[in-house]
Structure 1
Amino acid sequence: MAVSEVRTVAVSPAMVQQWAVDLLKTDAQLLLLRARPEWSHGDARVGDQNVRVLPGVSQLAVLDILETLADDERAVVLTDRPSDDLGDAVLARAYRQQVQLPDEWQAVPRLFAGTSVVGRDLRRLDWAATALLDHQPPGGWPRSPEPVLTAGHAVGCLLAQVLGLGPTPQLDDVTLLTSLGRRDVRAAWVAVDDGLRGHLIGWAETELGEPAALALQIAQSNEHITPLAVGLALDVLWPEDGRAPTEAQAAARVRVERFVGGTPVPVDSAKAVARFAKAAVLRLEIDDAPELGIALQQAKALLGDLDWAMGAEESTILAPGYLARVRALADALTDGDDQAVEDALARVAEHRDAGTSQAPTMAVRLHRWLATDEAPTPSLGADLQRQLSDGAWVDAAVGAVWHGSTDPDVTHAYGELLRRVRERRGERDRIAASRLRQVNAPDVEGAIGVERLLADVVAPWRRRGGALLVVLDGMSGAIATSLAAEVARLGLIEWVPAETHGRQGVVAALPSLTAISRTSLFCGQVQSGALDDEKRGLAKRFRDARLFHKNDLRSQGGAALPADVSEAVQDHAVPVVGVVINAIDDATHKNDTSAWNWDLNSLQPLRALLDAAASAGRAIILTSDHGHVVERGTEALSVPGADSRWRSVGTDAVVEGEVLVSGERVVAPGDQAVLLWRDDARYGPRHSGYHGGASLAELTIPVLVFQGATVTNGAPGWEQAAPQVPLWWNDPIRLATPVEAVPRQKPKPQRPAPSGPDALFEVDAPSDAPVAQVGLVEAMLASDTFREQKRRAGRHALADAKTAAVVRALVERGNRAHQDTIAAAAGIAAGQFGQIFAAVKRLLNVDGYSVVELDTDGKTIRLDEKLLREQFEVTT
């Protein structure tokens, strides 16, 4: 078209600003810009320089402007006159001697450092250039990562800028949803021009997806309700499982339309928004953002506004959903249906709040334990061993369930569960207490008294480079279960006696008091004493040994350990370094420990001691002098002069819940005492915890032995420990009915019973293992395919017995179980399980087919039994 026919338009301040920048780069005083000669925005400012912006309606008007400009002044003139009308006198003094056409796209590349040309995808957005010019931030737009400016970068920055987030290009759908949870962001969005909002919503749908666009639509219609809250409501209105809606739910789907643009919500869109809403919740949790709590409350209130308040109970995010799931679990526990209990726990685990309490998981573990058979034990030694391998875990679970819920229905179910557990645990305590009458019998095997701990445990281990012996005063078996797992996560390997494959149990001296049992430990004989007696006793047993008590552990500022403790641990001339940590015993007298979780942080300076000992190559032995029972509604028994859990023999008869003990391991007048074995009773005033009695929790002293992961040899008669968790801890008790059943292994022959005063208790031989589907396992091992897989593996092939043990353990548990359960059932050391499982996979996963795999949670092993039968041609 002819110049005179060029259409003139109103130009934006941003465009004029860009031309002013260009003008200042030259010697010209004037820049002529084809535009309507209308301007009300004042002069342009470029740095510290001022550029006048003036209308030029004619040649004379422009000439007049030139005449009035001082020598150091510059001007941008807006004119609708063609070049011929302006004449040479004007053009000669103008920028580039011509009238500049207002092509906004021409100005856009200069807005983004690092770019020289506008991409085609951006040019297709005919509204974008004006918006980018109008909304340019004071510091400019972010640098483009590519020479070609893309719509993704430019419009992404624009959207972030108009939302008040700053010109960041890192805007995705989840970030958008979380950002719109802020009131100031929603207010900024509502303030954006309607036309531009529409363009940005359309771009967001194409570039970021429909959920992002829907979130922006929700925000522009509901400034006071967050899109995240609406998304969480949509999550329960259109659940992922596609269940048919209830009548109330269907009605709520219609009512929610007014919050989502006033039109019916497409099912796929609703589910997509819900997915991103849940992802946004996770991100806000990580950031600890206050907007999350607001959104959760709004979502719950919104469902109420939709006349479907019950919908919140269907949510895996909202608090009512968690309570509803825990209530369903409580109902299942009351009914006693094993599968219903497991299903209910799985639903609890799906909820966002599942990690806020261990009570539901621990309650199910107690339910599983109650479902196991209670085999009789032949001796006190067996009672002590079972306390460490089973009872201590029960005690740990009780601690988590005791304060499990504030909901009356759940509290009632938990209370009934705890009553049943206490009855069963009480019967164990009663039986063990009845055997204390034979505490000095010489014909028992396996368990040792606390006075033999130095000789039977510490001495063999100190010969391997020295030992660190840490006595955690009052540590029970329950505390040891959690502490051992935490120590193992430091990279230390646990060792256990090879005969029992379980943690060593030691029995306290009687009564189970610190002054008696701890002194007996360090002196090597049952006696009462004080700190100096303990130090002399350890030094007498191990020449040059050092023992540090509470006051010896106070370090100088900036040090994790006192200098003399560190030096002793590092000095190999010191065969045994003993340390007494009183935190547990102190707490049981002063603090409510009924739901206490003991860890390394609460047992200072244990972590520093472990690090120092591992560095020095010492074996680490963690033990106690006695356990304790926790105050959980105990009955007060009025006996004058009695201690909390024991009394002297007097005129009062021994009643139910008490046991009379006597002999050389009893430190009391006449070598006799009456001990309480009931854990729900006490003498005297109430405390947070008690010891001195005859319950298994008080009598049984756990012994935990660790070495560095690089040390492969242990003391004679010790082996690397398999996971010590009971088989019911991580998985349901679900033994399959075998087709052809035989014992998994022959029982080990009994050792001859030792004689002499050092042999206190006997430990029964391991019971026969659960029977398995021998037809399937044996047929697999005998198949041609298995033999070929072993040939391919060569010398790295796993022994058949190990392969069979892993497969049997899986089959017995419905082809799915926690890796610790499999390792424990198959007798595989925890530190070796990864290597052995990899070898099992090489043998079973023929041609890459996943017969056995680690599940996505990284903890559960899955066996595809159907595929195993197909791959190995097993028809049994």
Structure 2
Amino acid sequence: MSLTRAAVRPAAVRRKVEAWLAERDDSDAIVLHARPEWTDEPVLTVGDTPVRIVPCPTPIAARAALADRAAYEKLVLLTDLTDMELGDGLLTHVSMQKGRSVDPWDVVTQVFGGQVRLDSTLVRTGRWVADALTDLAPVEGWAPPAGLILTRDHALRHLAGAVLGLDPDELDGAGLLQWSTDARTQLRFADLPTEWTDGIAVFLAEVAGPVAVPVLAAVRAGHGIDAIPLGLLAGVLRPRDVEPRPDVELVVARTRLEPRFGGARLTEAQATAFGEATEAWIYRALDGDDAVRHDAHRMLRRAEEIAAEIDIAGRLAASALLPAGFTQRMRAFGAAVRLAVPVAGAGPAAELIERAQDRLAEVEAHRSADRPRVETARMAVRLLRWLAVPEGPAPATILDAVHRQVRADGWVDRARLDVFAGDVDQEVAQAYRLLHAAVDARRARHDRQFAELLQDMTGAEREPGALLRVEDVLDRVVRPVLDGGRRVLMLVLDGMGTAAGIEIADSLGRSGVWTELTPGGGPRTGVLAALPTVTQVNRCSLFSGRIAVGDRGAELRAFREQFPGSVLLHKSDLRTPAGQAVDPEVAAAIADPAVPLVAAVINTIDDALDRSDPGTTEWSTDTVNGLRDLLAVAQDRVVVLVSDHGHVVDRGTEAVLLPADSSENRWRPATGEPGDGELLFWGSRVALAEGKAILPWREELRYGPRKAGYHGGAAPAEAVIPLLLFAVHDENAVPGWAGAPVSSPEWWREPLRPTAGEATSREAAQPENRRSVRRAARPAVQDEGLFDLPAPTAAPAPPEPPAAADPATVLVDALLASPVYADRRGTRAPLSDERVAAMVATLIAGNGRAALETLATRAGVPVHRVTGTFTVLRRLLQVEGYPVLSLDPDGRTAKLDIALMVEQFGLEAP
């Protein structure tokens, strides 16, 4: 009696035929027990042998097939008849004189090498696995397992890898996402039987995790090629590190995304894993070659298109990758700046500045951020913090006004140049415009105060005292260095104001080679220009040592009279032949020990006032022509960087052109009364117009033709000259000068933090934030060498108790008094308790974080020694190697784990 048999798959028949032909018996036919159905090609070619497949529902059909067989063909008889029903007479003409079964699992063992046993879990997975492994097997068969057991994992990994076009070892989230970018392999997957794709999907969810579910759902819904963009949007709609709260719009947005997954609703774990995996894919792609980066940008654009199609574009600010997210974050930042800009002369509210700082952090964290725009945003926040600093009384002397320009307002000028250049987004640009106006109003008051003090000093012929004037630089700065036995390279950067000087000094400090020196190791000082602040007056006065007017020839004559045997180089002397960065004669002069002083005039900044935009250029050793190369050949000399005058930039539509009897940019003869924004100057330091001239103090005024920048007036940006001294790793190179402290003001480098009262009230409102300890830092101690103080044999006297002990003071005092600290202090390189206290207190005040420069300031450490000081402090606090103190990846921010410090030193928790 015939049996009901399953239909046989063509691939299974082919595999049985291959095995039969490999036996090399002499029979021309084989009987396969299977349902007598065949819809494929009637003749298979196996190797070089044609094999005809004949369904045989009856013995007569089988006999007819044998009778009709062509001599060059082999024959396969598909029948559901038993061997008894076929009869011995027929079976004598077929292989092995009997029929063979077509067991799909037998075929599976064959395609895996034939010498394996099946794992029972593989068989229980279902018949579909056997069919798929047979149908999709490569010509050479599947890779055999490592042992004798064909496991479910091995079989399904190779099956899924073949279906997806992936290496079996790459069946993870990243591999699936990469597969989703290939439309061809997705179509092949979609064409497979549903039972197969369902089974493969279950397995992929096991090995690739929850990412597999949304990827395959998107593929089945016909949106597989958009899987990565959809993952980015899924991540946007499941923001991490955000407190869950009712948000109807967010729920609606997620619902709008569901049709792209065939209506499937992703679980929280699936959506989160999907978003994280797609972000990781984009990050890797953005770090790849051009083609891969192009794919990443295409995915980002497509995600934004989908967001617009389903009306969720307004949620993209949550994305740290999508360019639209950066735009939205910038607009949120602009709105925060606009709210924080003070009105009617009032200082900005601290909480509004903190909000702007928070929005800035979000902008900085965006991977698609436009770095110049981010830097401008940082400058805007710095200006807000500066506006929050109480203005204080006006400077009493011109020296005070010069120091204010060097130590504070020059930094303001550096920041406001960026803010003046603005932003491409009109909403952000409007916020910057409001901020710039507020900064300008305060700076204008400072400019007028400076100009009035300058007018008084000049007209009254006051003695300079401690003030350095341009005509004093050679005698009071350079000559003492030469008298001390050191040779000097003096670089005169024509047109360098305090803002440009700050940038150049920063770039030199970052090189790690040059140590900046300041008078007594204190703050930087500056030099006062002669009037008008033009080159022919100030450069000649600089090289003459007295107020003088002249050209290059006059400068050379005056210089040689004062410093015989020294060399003065002008622009034409610094031009170099092909292939040489420094002219050989210039290099020889700098290297010559018999040449005590080499002075060189570099015109890059001044030239920019005519031919480019000095307001948008970041001045550094790279952008000032020849500066880096001259410094490279002068490392055995003390370097003095100075200028002849500064400059102001053109104010665009705000600029005001005043009529004048001359075409000078920023000064005019005293032929009439000074107007608004102008003052009359007279005296021996007014070198032109017969000692009497009108100079503007307002930066937007000019008399001559429009240029990119101007000088000649009485604004501190053009009348105060930066003075910078550097030596290679030698802070004692100049008598009376020492390693410089951090030069930037605190508002420049540190976020605005709440006062002690604000912190206390906030912590009372949020009791869970008990670990956040904020306080004002202790006053900085005086500068001393890192290893100057010997380790004391007895504990130091406890500091005077504060009027009201706050938790931070108690914690720092407890640290210094702890036995663990005493043990470690005795075995480590000595670091004074005062410095430890200052730095730890600063970190606690910053809720465990502070810039290295701020630590240097609080501890009174020269800026070039802060890294070494930090290293010593870290060793001191790292009990048993635990990371109590660490450094952020940016290399500039220290992190103190307050709770771990409390635990390691056995302190009482605050």
TM-score normalised per structure 1: 0.79
Aligned-pair distance for 1:590?
2.1
Aligned-pair distance for 1:626?
1.6
Q: Distance in 1 between matches of 2:152 and 2:421?
A: 56
Residue matched to 1:789:
821
CA deviation string 1:298-340 (max 9, x = no partner): 4344444445443334544433532442243134314733223
Aligned-pair distance for 1:844?
4.7
Is 2:208 the partner of 1:173?
no
Is 2:355 the partner of 1:343?
yes
Matching residue within 698, 703, 713 for 1:693: 713
Q: Is the 8 A contact 1:237 1:253 kept in 2?
A: yes
Q: Percent identity?
A: 30
Q: Is the 8 A contact 1:248 1:308 kept in 2?
A: no
CA deviation string 1:209-247 (max 9, x = no partner): 212442232233243862233223323433222432332
Q: Distance in 2 between matches of 1:640 and 1:159?
A: 87
Letter in 1 for 2:405: Q
Q: Distance in 1 between matches of 2:125 and 2:576?
A: 69
Q: Distance in 1 between matches of 2:829 and 2:317?
A: 53
Residue matched to 1:416:
434
Map 1:536-615 to 2 at 5 A: 537-538=558-559, 541-614=562-635
Residue matched to 2:294:
290
Report the CA distance shift for 1:326/1:190 in structure 2 as closer, same or farther (over 3 A).
farther
Q: Distance in 2 between matches of 1:18 and 1:521?
A: 101
Q: Distance in 2 between matches of 1:15 and 1:455?
A: 101
Letter in 2 for 1:515: Q
Q: Is the 8 A contact 1:399 1:596 kept in 2?
A: no
Q: Distance in 2 between matches of 1:529 and 1:398?
A: 34
Residue matched to 1:680:
700
Residue matched to 1:227:
227
Matching residue within 389, 396, 415 for 1:372: 389
Q: Secondary structure at the match of 1:226?
A: helix
Letter in 1 for 2:695: L
Aligned-pair distance for 1:123?
9.4
Residue matched to 1:724:
743
Q: Distance in 2 between matches of 1:516 and 1:53?
A: 103
Q: Is the 8 A contact 1:781 1:800 kept in 2?
A: no
Matching residue within 391, 410, 415 for 1:392: 410
Q: Distance in 2 between matches of 1:399 and 1:339?
A: 26
Q: Distance in 1 between matches of 2:517 and 2:131?
A: 75
Letter in 2 for 1:234: A
Letter in 1 for 2:719: L
Aligned-pair distance for 1:545?
4.0
CA deviation string 1:452-506 (max 9, x = no partner): 3344444555667644433332222212223332332222233232436223422
Q: Secondary structure at the match of 2:743?
A: coil
Q: Is the 8 A contact 2:229 2:303 kept in 1?
A: yes
Structure 1 residue runs without a partner (length 5+): 70-75, 93-98, 749-770
Residue matched to 2:378:
361
Q: Secondary structure at the match of 1:674?
A: strand
Matching residue within 457, 468, 473 for 1:453: 473
Letter in 2 for 1:220: R
Q: Distance in 1 between matches of 2:139 and 2:485?
A: 70
Q: Distance in 1 between matches of 2:731 and 2:75?
A: 87
Instruction: Tell me whether 866-875 or 798-807 shows the greater mean CA deviation.
Output: 866-875
Aligned-pair distance for 1:687?
1.4
Q: Secondary structure at the match of 1:204?
A: helix
Q: Distance in 1 between matches of 2:219 and 2:535?
A: 66
Report the CA distance shift for 1:269/1:869 in structure 2 as closer, same or farther (over 3 A).
closer
Q: Distance in 2 between matches of 1:527 and 1:145?
A: 92
Q: Distance in 1 between matches of 2:72 and 2:250?
A: 75
Report the CA distance shift for 1:494/1:161 in structure 2 as closer, same or farther (over 3 A).
farther
Aligned-pair distance for 1:728?
0.7
Q: Distance in 1 between matches of 2:468 and 2:276?
A: 58
Q: Distance in 1 between matches of 2:28 and 2:587?
A: 80
Letter in 1 for 2:215: A
Report the CA distance shift for 1:150/1:362 in structure 2 as closer, same or farther (over 3 A).
farther
Q: Distance in 1 between matches of 2:427 and 2:845?
A: 35
Report the CA distance shift for 1:549/1:147 in structure 2 as closer, same or farther (over 3 A).
farther
Residue matched to 2:249:
248
Is 2:423 the partner of 1:405?
yes
Is 2:51 the partner of 1:54?
yes
Q: Secondary structure at the match of 1:796?
A: coil
Is 2:685 the partner of 1:665?
yes
Map 1:172-321 to 2 at 5 A: 172-174=172-174, 176-177=176-177, 180=180, 190=190, 194=194, 197-223=197-223, 226-240=226-240, 241-287=242-288, 289-316=293-320, 317=322, 318-319=324-325, 321=328
Aligned-pair distance for 1:369?
0.4
Is 2:337 the partner of 1:330?
yes
Instruction: Tell me whether 841-850 or 560-569 shows the greater mean CA deviation.
Output: 841-850
Report the CA distance shift for 1:104/1:726 in structure 2 as closer, same or farther (over 3 A).
same
CA deviation string 1:614-667 (max 9, x = no partner): 4xx444443322211111222111112141111123x21123322333344332
Q: Distance in 2 between matches of 1:27 and 1:572?
A: 96
Q: Is the 8 A contact 2:731 2:738 kept in 1?
A: no
Q: Is the 8 A contact 2:257 2:310 kept in 1?
A: yes
Instruction: Tell me whether 720-729 or 136-145 shows the greater mean CA deviation.
Output: 136-145
Aligned-pair distance for 1:259?
1.7
Aligned-pair distance for 1:668?
0.7
TM-score normalised per structure 2: 0.76
Q: Distance in 2 between matches of 1:814 and 1:380?
A: 40
Letter in 2 for 1:453: V
Letter in 2 for 1:359: T
RMSD: 5.0
Q: Is the 8 A contact 1:737 1:773 kept in 2?
A: no
Report the CA distance shift for 1:191/1:740 in structure 2 as closer, same or farther (over 3 A).
closer
Q: Distance in 2 between matches of 1:8 and 1:268?
A: 42
Q: Distance in 1 between matches of 2:218 and 2:262?
A: 7
Q: Distance in 2 between matches of 1:804 and 1:310?
A: 48
Letter in 1 for 2:743: Q
Q: Distance in 1 between matches of 2:578 and 2:136?
A: 56
Q: Is the 8 A contact 1:158 1:167 kept in 2?
A: no
Q: Is the 8 A contact 1:517 1:626 kept in 2?
A: yes
Higher relative contact order (CA 8 A, sep 6+): 1
Report the CA distance shift for 1:225/1:788 in structure 2 as closer, same or farther (over 3 A).
closer
Residue matched to 1:430:
448
Letter in 2 for 1:374: E
Q: Is the 8 A contact 1:384 1:700 kept in 2?
A: yes
Q: Is the 8 A contact 1:735 1:812 kept in 2?
A: no
Letter in 1 for 2:644: D
Report the CA distance shift for 1:720/1:103 in structure 2 as closer, same or farther (over 3 A).
farther
Letter in 2 for 1:54: V
Report the CA distance shift for 1:343/1:543 in structure 2 as closer, same or farther (over 3 A).
same
Instruction: Tell me whether 567-576 or 394-403 shows the greater mean CA deviation.
Output: 567-576
Q: Distance in 1 between matches of 2:781 and 2:846?
A: 21
Q: Distance in 2 between matches of 1:638 and 1:413?
A: 33
Q: Is the 8 A contact 1:62 1:90 kept in 2?
A: no
Q: Is the 8 A contact 2:350 2:754 kept in 1?
A: no
Matching residue within 714, 719, 744 for 2:779: 744
Report the CA distance shift for 1:224/1:19 in structure 2 as closer, same or farther (over 3 A).
closer
Instruction: Tell me whether 545-554 or 700-709 shows the greater mean CA deviation.
Output: 545-554
Report the CA distance shift for 1:100/1:655 in structure 2 as closer, same or farther (over 3 A).
closer
CA deviation string 1:647-704 (max 9, x = no partner): 123x211233223333443321323332221112111222111111111111122233
Instruction: Tell me whether 861-870 or 500-509 shows the greater mean CA deviation.
Output: 861-870
The number of aligned residues is 824
Instruction: Tell me whether 735-744 or 618-627 shows the greater mean CA deviation.
Output: 735-744
